[in-house]
Amino acid sequence: MNTLAFRLFLAVLLAVLCAAALIALSGHNPLEAFAAIASGAAGSPHALGVSLNKTTPYLLAGSGVALCFRAGIINIGAEGQIAIGGLGAATAALVWPVESPVVAIGVALLAAALAGAAWAGLAAAIHLGRHVHEVLVTLLLNFIAMLLVQQALAGALGAPGAGFLQSPLLPRAAWLAHPFAELGAHPGILVGVAASGGLSLLLWRSRFGFALRVAGASRQAAAYAGLSLPALTWGAMLLAGALAGLAGGIEVLGIHRRLIEGFSLGFGFKAVAVALLGALEPLAVVPAALFVGMLEAGSLSMQRQVGVPSSLVAVIEGLTMLFALAAMARR
Amino acid sequence: MDFLAATIRIATPLLLAALGGILSERAGVFAVGLEGMMLAGAFAAAVATWASGSDLVGIGAALAGGAVIGLLVALVAVRFRADQMVTGLSANIFAAGVTSYLLRANGGRAPSIHLDPLANWPVPWLADLPVLGPLLFNHPPLTYLAAAGCVALTWWLGRTQAGLTLRATGENPEAVFASGGNPARTRLLAVIACGAVAGLGGAVLSLQQVGTFTDNMTGGRGYLALASLIVGRWTPAGAAAACLVFGAADAFGLRLQTFGLPASSYVLQMAPYVIALAVLAGLGRSAKLPAAIGQSLE
């Protein structure tokens, strides 16, 4: 674990060094650019709040992905589960408007988690029932989910007027409050940290978690020990799907306050990135998600202040993933 | 008539990428990185043609650009034995970032690249045939290349020693090793070649159809190509048929929009992914994926 943490640190360092070289190549000072990212991500309470909000979906979805990967289930369907979760939250809030914020938010987030779990369950059913590789199923379902959201917004759930597809504004009772005054952040980050803590306990302190780890280490050993692989797959997929759906619901209720086409674009793949960077350890996904969230929050101020294109962030993310994969490889 | 022409037009970049993907997957490496390979190819082709003024240089650059992403995937997935799919995804994120960044690297603003799209090359005599002529024998060069590539790959995979080795590496790498071959090297080369061919698919978009490069201009076509090679059951001819079906669905969707028909274009856009899923689910265990696909080499 210790050496793995060190190798992952090297992976991040190497990615950042490559990014520095790219910045220098375009005629800017890398240190200046990184300073601008840091100030944009944590230079003021408001900046920190933006970082925390950006971190939330990656943390929620990433912890679930980490759990699946631990069990050897390569679930790359978070993207679709987030989209369907957002659809569930928006539908619940619009179809059943209630006065009480507690009920409205509770119902919408429950709908989000259930919708996400159902979408992941569909993937599990096709994977287990028809012996289709889970990566192909989850990948293909991502596109179908995204188009389903667009179809819903072009039809019953849509509101005209914008240049893109969106739903009407949700009833005010369903909006997630921003209780930390100076930060301007919604409480989703707390849900995220609680979820990753809970998953970590589940993984290391429960019978189910032990079974997941055995299955991840060796399918043969798990089968020989009498563990039911289908039951484990169902459990991990439904949990991860519920968390990803919740991430989508929180994004809709806390940030946009309506459903917007493509609101989940790229989230699922970044959830995979933070799961890897956190060495598939749910608690370690917290700093990993924070790293990616802060990078994204800071990238715009880097572009504004120093003139370095903000797409540098995707370069850092992609390289970090590639290096982390190489660092985690079995030797 | 227009409809059929649009179908072929939409299918061409998909087919080239799918042919690359077949090389990779038949050698036993999932080709999730097709999207990034196409994007890198589209970028390299546009920038190189713009800088040099020569289409040929641009096409060479497309091959090289796609191959670079292929090399990255090959190193991490084959050399370091990381999960192939996740490696492909990472490469896609990297390619999207790096092409967008490099486009703006000089002064923070994207240059305005305007290229004349590659002209049609009518085949002498054949292009004058009624109906068939304009449909089949009056296309820009990369479209002929895609069709020729389809025939060439079928022959190469089925009839040459190297093609046999590649297929064996995807089915039973231990046997290749036992007979004195080097499965890791075969996979490495197959993935790099996959990148180069998919890069050509990207060049179809930037050089032949649009005449410039914009951020993320492949817009998921790499994943669509992946779906088409699954539906085509890992054969060039099957993939070509799937690409044409997907192209027709897309062209039909565009028609619907222009004529304001009530049917939904989103549902139509879903078709390729639903068909791919249905084919996989319908075939179940008999889907005949290359047997050793996804497995790392010990």
CATH number (1.10.10, 1.10.287, 3.40.50, 1.10.3470) of B2-108+127-287 reads: 1.10.3470
Q: Is the pLDDT at B262 greater than 60, yes or no? A: no
Amino acid B286: pLDDT? 64
Predicted ipTM of the assembly: 0.89
Interface touch A132/B284, C-beta < 8 Å: yes
Of A176-180, A319-323, B238-242, the poorest mean pLDDT is in A176-180
Domain boundaries, chain B: 2-108+127-287
Q: Which two tokens stand for residue B24?
A: 């990779």
Taking all residues of chain A, what is their mean pLDDT, rounded to a whole number?
A: 91
Nearest CA in chain A to B87: A322
B260 reaches A (C-beta below 8 A): no
DSSP string, B19-68: HHHHHHHHTT---TTHHHHHHHHHHHHHHHHHHH--HHHHHHHHHHHHHH
DSSP A166: B
Q: Which of A4, A143, A317 to mutate to test the interface with B (most CBs of B within 10 A)?
A: A143
Chain A: give the shortest CA distance to residue B270, in Å. 6
A131 contacts in chain B (CB < 8 Å): 284-285
Distance from CA of A108 to the nearest CA of B (A): 25
Tens of pLDDT along B179-226? 888 999 999 999 999 999 999 999 999 999 988 999 999 988 999 999
Query: Which residues of chain B lie closer than 8 angstroms to A278, CB-CB?
Result: none
Contact A311 B270 (CB under 8 A): no
| pLDDT of the residue at A290 | 95
Nearest to B85 among A74, A143, A273 (CB): A74
pLDDT tens string A17-50: 999 999 998 889 999 999 999 999 999 999 999 9
Question: Can you state the angle between helices A45-70 and A207-217, rounded to 10 degrees?
Answer: 70
Angle at B167 between CA B162 and CA B169, to 5 degrees: 95
Give B157 to chain A, closest Cα distance, Å: 24
CB atoms within 10 A of CB A3: 8
Are A316 and B294 a contacting pair at CB < 8 A? no
d(CA B64, CA B45): 9
Rg of chain A on CA atoms, in Å = 20
Q: Residue B205's pLDDT is what?
A: 94
Report residue B123: phi and psi, to 5°: -75, 125
CB-CB neighbors (< 8 A) of B281 in chain A = 126, 129-130, 132
B82 touches A: beta carbon within 8 Å: yes
Closest residue, chain A, to B286 (C-alpha):
A131
Work out how many CB contacts closer than 8 A connect A with B. Answer: 157
Is A1's pLDDT higher than 60? no
- pLDDT tens-place string over residues A100-155: 989 999 999 999 999 999 999 999 999 999 888 888 899 999 999 999 999 999 88
B249 in reach of chain A (CB within 8 A): no
